[in-house]
Amino acid sequence: MGTVADRQARTTLKRRFCLGLVLTLLPLLVAVAIGFWAIQGMTGAVDRLVAEAVDEIAPVEALWRQVHDLSDAIRVAGGEAPMPLAESVLADIDRSFDQLAGVAFIGAGEREALSGAREIWSGLRGELHQSPPGNGRLYKADLLLKLEQVEVRLDRIHHLALAEMNLLHAQVVDHRRTTGIFLGAVVLMALALSLVTGMHLSKSVLAPLQSLRRGVLQLGEGDLSARVAEVGQDELADLARTFNQMAVRLEESHRELAELSASDYLTGLNNVREFYRLFHEETRRSDRYGHVFTLLLLDVDLFKEINDTFGHQTGDYVLQEAARRLKSLVRVNDHVARIGGDEFSILLPETGHEEAMDLAERIRADFHERAIPLPQHPDDALRMTVSIGMATYPVDAEDAGRLFARADAALYLAKDGGRNRLEVAAKETRRGGRNEEGGSLPLSDRGGR
């Protein structure tokens, strides 16, 4: 069950959602009222529609006016022959005819009348470029007659269009009442659909939001494994997927940071902090279940002389090579750490005295027998040795602090005893490793001389 704050947050979210739903439906209700009121003014709307349709035949009226003006110009012109006429006037009439050719008339009568007017004008256009015959008065009368025929046909287009639009107006008015009934039915259906949609919206939106909120709270409390359900393909599902991707990246980054904080920067082994954590954890396991474990402390012999002779870069390489060998020699469940400059530790869980001695001796022998080739000194190879101190819990110590002190004392004993040795922190007996080389820097060339 959620806390009081969680329940209050959910209640607030539901209130906001319900308010948003009401605000969504309110415009629909207003639209219904306006729609019924608007039906009463449908006749006026139809009149405006007819007026707009009349505007579409404005080019017919403009052309009729141009032809009429041309007739007046010829009629009032002095003399018997009104020549020559301005070419610009004739070109304007040609363009008006071309514009009318692209108008989509409702009936076939308008198109037929336009074709007849265009045909008469084409013949008349050619005559206007010719010189008048001998009887100029008859020529002028013939021109006026043909222009009148063009005007009559253009006027017919105008009247036919008006008649068809008046018919359309009557049909629209007849369907006004039917449209009102249909609109009412549509509005009722829209209201019902809005209610159903609102219920579905409440279920499909609030549930993903609550899931996302819980995931955010878990992530904020430090639970990086928090994930939310990815349902559907909408924006909320995209948001859930983005949240999950973010949580995965945070978890991976946290894991990487944890690994980096527990690793030695040079060798990649556990660092001293991680060593002490594992050391005390192993001590608690031993106390709880009665298991034994062994601690090995290793030190690279004469490491200072290696640094002084070959430089710190080669010294770092030697430490890296030592770490690589140690990881290859121990078992999978053993823990290797670098706890100092050239000092390493190995925790051997559930490992007794004799088994640990055998492993430690193999480690010492491997370092002694295999030389390390130096990349920056190809003519030389370094025969590195290690000294090892060993203590077993709880055989050699009663608590973790004393165990480490005994293993450390055994390590110093191995160093003082000539290096390249294994010393065991036993109370009565100590086993000394063979000291085949010690006291000076152990070097050999690549050929192993």
Per-residue pLDDT, 24: 66
Give the C-alpha distances (Å, rounded to integers) separating 139 from 81, 82, 94, 118, 170.
Answer: 7, 9, 22, 20, 47
The domain made up of 272-445 has a fold known as Alpha-Beta Plaits (3.30.70)
How would you write the pLDDT of the chain (449 residues) with one tens digit per residue? 455 555 554 555 566 567 666 666 666 676 666 666 666 666 565 666 555 566 557 777 777 887 777 777 777 765 554 555 667 777 777 787 777 777 766 667 777 877 787 788 777 776 766 655 555 677 777 777 877 887 888 778 777 777 777 776 676 667 677 766 766 766 677 666 667 666 666 666 667 777 777 777 877 777 777 777 776 666 667 777 787 777 777 777 767 666 666 788 899 899 999 999 999 999 999 999 999 999 999 999 999 998 888 888 888 999 999 999 999 999 999 999 999 889 999 999 999 999 999 999 999 999 999 888 877 766 677 888 999 999 999 989 888 889 999 999 999 999 999 999 999 986 543 444 444 443 333 333 333 32
Q: What is the dihedral of CA 375, 380, 383, 384, to 10 degrees?
A: -50
List own/partner pairs for 188-195 with CB under 8 A and 24 or more apart: 190/28, 191/28, 191/29, 191/32, 194/24, 194/25, 194/28
Per-residue pLDDT, 403: 93
CB 407 within 8 A of CB 391: yes
CB 342 within 8 A of CB 300: yes
Per-residue pLDDT, 438: 38
List the beta bridge partners of residue 112: none
Instruction: Give me the residue label for tokens 């990487």.
Output: 256
Per-residue pLDDT, 205: 67
d(C-alpha 439, C-alpha 387), whole Å:
13
d(C-alpha 23, C-alpha 15), whole Å:
12
CA atoms within 13 A on the CB side of 100: 26
Amino acid letter for position 203 = K
* Domain layout of the chain by residue ranges: 50-174, 214-261, 272-445
Q: Please report which helix (H) or strand (E) contains residue 337, including its range.
A: strand 335-338
List the beta bridge partners of residue 290: none
Per-residue pLDDT, 390: 96
CB 339 within 8 A of CB 345: yes
Per-residue pLDDT, 288: 92
Structure tokens at 344: 């390493």
Structure tokens at 46: 């139809």
d(C-alpha 329, C-alpha 359), whole Å:
8
Apex 372 CA angle, 367 and 373, nearest 5: 170
Per-residue pLDDT, 97: 77
Angle between helices 42-56 and 176-220 (to 10 degrees): 100
Per-residue pLDDT, 42: 62
List the beta bridge partners of residue 343: 299
Give the C-alpha distances (Å, rounded to integers) separating 176 from 33, 47, 48, 182.
Answer: 17, 13, 15, 10
Architecture label for domain 50-174: Up-down Bundle (1.20)
